[in-house]
Amino acid sequence: MPEITLTTLQSLKQSGEKIAMLTCYDATFAHAACQAGVDVLLVGDSLGMVLQGHDSTLPVSIADMAYHVASVKRGNQGALILADLPFMAYATTEQALHNCAVLMQAGAHMVKLEGAAWLAEPIRLLAERGVPVCAHLGLTPQAVNILGGYKVQGRQEAQARQMRADAMALEQAGAAMLLLECVPSELAAEISQAVNIPVIGIGAGNATDGQVLVLHDMLGLSLSDRTPKFVKNFMAGQSSIQTALSAYVKAVKDQSFPAAEHGFSA
């Protein structure tokens, strides 16, 4: 597969072709995802829950992230590798710069930070130093204790207005991509149209520029009996993991996923 870069993702947004992103934590699945045509491999701090068995992403360390980024890099065949900065790894500008260097040197092409307009300054500094940033808005799992649980964000008008302003401020600061999690579909569509950078959704409707799911969720694997509304099991009816991965990419590209039932209203 041809190498995916930020320029590629920008071109996909402009042409209207959806971006297929999937979490990935090791070399074997990186190889399989690339074979299926996944554009972006997200080495997510979700590994704290799906690999390590924690009840949140908070225990994940920068060393954990670097290990899995390096593993994914070894199996990658042209996808863009996006890596999460874990909880409190960017509490200060110095931490952000140091820890981004760790992840980029491990093999990431881009880093993801959770937060709002307060991220503008670290994003500006990172972009100036050659580190592309994806800003994560909406439900930000690292802030689960402040948010009071895993809840849809942006349903109140004031909250929606603030999220739109945050998105535009972060783009202005130099963010190269946005990720919206558990955001009403209409609000996600408005934000996707308001900014010039690619917007990826998870539980944010089908009008964003692309979609992401946690690998284990889309394969029907979970430590919990509760399946999030925005998840679809692509393993159902498939003969192999490889065909399930291909089915996910096809569904994102032809816009059959997410369907209306996978989104949230205001």
Question: What angle, 0 to 180 degrees and rounded to 10, lies between the N-to-C axes of helices 93-106 and 120-128?
Answer: 50
> Is 55 a known ligand-binding residue?
no
> Is 45 a known ligand-binding residue?
yes
Cα distances from 214 to residues 50, 95, 96, 117, 220, in angstroms, run: 9, 27, 25, 26, 10
> Is 128 a known ligand-binding residue?
no
The token pair at 66 is 């670097």
What does the alpha-carbon distance between residue 243 and residue 257 come to, in Å, rounded to a whole number?
A: 16
The set of long-range contacts for 14-20, using a CB threshold of 8 Å and a minimum separation of 24, is: 17/253, 18/209, 18/210, 18/211, 18/252, 18/253, 18/255, 19/198, 19/200, 19/209, 19/210, 19/211, 19/252, 20/210, 20/211, 20/248, 20/249, 20/252, 20/253
Q: Is 128 a catalytic residue?
A: no
> Is 11 a known ligand-binding residue?
no
> Is 225 a known ligand-binding residue?
no
What does the alpha-carbon distance between residue 159 and residue 139 come to, in Å, rounded to a whole number?
A: 12
Q: Which of 17, 94, 128, 181 is catalytic?
A: 181
Residue type, 186: E
Please report, in range form, the residues annotated as the binding site.
Answer: 45-46, 84, 112, 114
Q: Which residues are catalytic?
A: 181
Please report, in range form, the residues annotated as the binding site for 3-methyl-2-oxobutanoate.
Answer: 45-46, 84, 112
Please report, in range form, the residues annotated as the binding site for Mg(2+).
Answer: 45, 84, 114
